[in-house]
Amino acid sequence: GIRDYVRWLEFRRVLFRSIELKPDYATAYFNRAVAYHDLGERGECCEDLNTAASLGSDEAEQAMKEICK
């Protein structure tokens, strides 16, 4: 519903700001990838998973294998 959408917009704003302030923060990329995945945005999801994995996130690397085949 609308509350979920408003929460998503706020979460998205926080994630974008986190990445802006600390572009090497793998967890922010991973969390944004999860949000993109939940919205069905596969391309953006895989892009963020790739970035998170390149920053050392094992969790993102594993998720890439499952999602970004």
Predicted TM-score (pTM) of this structure: 0.87
Rounded-to-integer distance, Cα 37 and Cα 31, Å: 10
Rounded-to-integer distance, Cα 5 and Cα 8, Å: 5
Q: For residue 12, what pLDDT band results from cuts at 50, 70 and 90?
A: confident
- Kindly report which listed range (2-11, 17-26, 38-47) carries the lowest average pLDDT score: 2-11
Position 58 scores a pLDDT of 97
What pLDDT, in 10s, does the model give residues 25-66?
999 999 999 989 988 999 999 999 999 999 999 999 999 999
| Residue 55: partners with Cβ closer than 8 Å, 6 or more residues away | 24, 25, 26, 29
Rounded-to-integer distance, Cα 38 and Cα 33, Å: 9
Task: Say whether 39 sits in a helix, a strand or coil.
Answer: coil
Position 11 scores a pLDDT of 87
